[in-house]
Amino acid sequence: MTAMCHGRVVIVTGAGRGLGRAHALAFAAEGARVVVNDLGVGLDGAGGSGDPAQRVVEEIRAAGGEAVAHGGDIASTEGAASLVTTALETYGRLDTLVNNAGFLRDRMLVNLAEDDWDAVLRVHVKGHFLPLKHAAAHWRAESREGRPVVARVVNTTSGAGLLGSVGQGNYAAAKAGIVGLTLVAAAELGRYGVQVNAIAPAARTRMTEDAFSGLSALPEDVSPLVVWLGSAASTGVTGRVFEAEAGRITVMEGWRPGPTADKGARWTPSEAGAAARGLLAEAEPPGRVYGAVRSGVVRD
């Protein structure tokens, strides 16, 4: 290894299993001291145990690294604040935040309960926002005191948030929200020495093995990009979304103006419709929603 993150202190949320575990181990292998956060919940967010986080800590220590477990709920103000405090009190600094925690409650829209909507939005969107808010407050204070800040945030979105995914309206909405949060945070926090990017990973984990049975890429295939984005070596890269799967890395390009028509005055409904159809004929077709087919959808 190159010790790319030597001396850095890294928080990884949802790090007890899957992608988060792979990220935590990869950062530790590159010399980082890692705060391993995980509630130990099931795929739907039920239950809770500190065992997964502690096992990852023990793996890191057995390999000669430094790590500490954190079992707080990062979608709560208290849990997110204590997460940042754990890094500062244990290691005296914080350099990188990897927001990764999440779970699924998949349903078609007409069957999606309000509780399932709220729970998924809470863990993904609030679970990104609150740790980011508390970490950013620390970095802003450091910057205002004249101390150099070389901070990194890596958020976790999904192809579901970029293209949509049948049966995952709550998850897709949450992951799309994370992209918006990433862009705003990158714009607001750059002045304090903080870079914010997002990844849309594709890997076989507990969350994906049922929904995408043919997916064979490993979580460990995604982590090298996350480590680089979380290191000082990524200087100048912010406000970007990357898709990572196996050996493939793609810079995702989001909404931007396409074909435009300007009448210079108010359209009538018929005129607006005719103009819209003409513009659509010139525009690039949208990407296919995951799980959708031309004649309908794959699952009911």
Active site residues: 158, 171, 175
265 CB-contact burial (10 Å; exposed 0-12 / middle 13-18 / buried 19+): exposed
| Cβ–Cβ under 8 Å, residues 167 and 151 | no
Q: How distant, in Å, are the alpha carbons of 5, 155, 267 from that of 227?
A: 8, 12, 51
* Identity of the amino acid at 92: G
For residue 72 the two structure tokens come to: 């707080």
| Cβ–Cβ under 8 Å, residues 38 and 20 | yes
**Rounded Cα distance, 204 and 213, in Å:** 8
- Residue 203 DSSP one-character state: -
End-to-end CA gap in the chain: 47
Assign residue 246 a region: left if phi > 0, alpha if psi is -120 to 50, beta otherwise? Answer: left
**Rounded Cα distance, 34 and 65, in Å:** 9
Q: Tokens 């990017």 correspond to what residue?
A: 197
Q: How many CB atoms lie within 10 A of CB 41?
A: 18
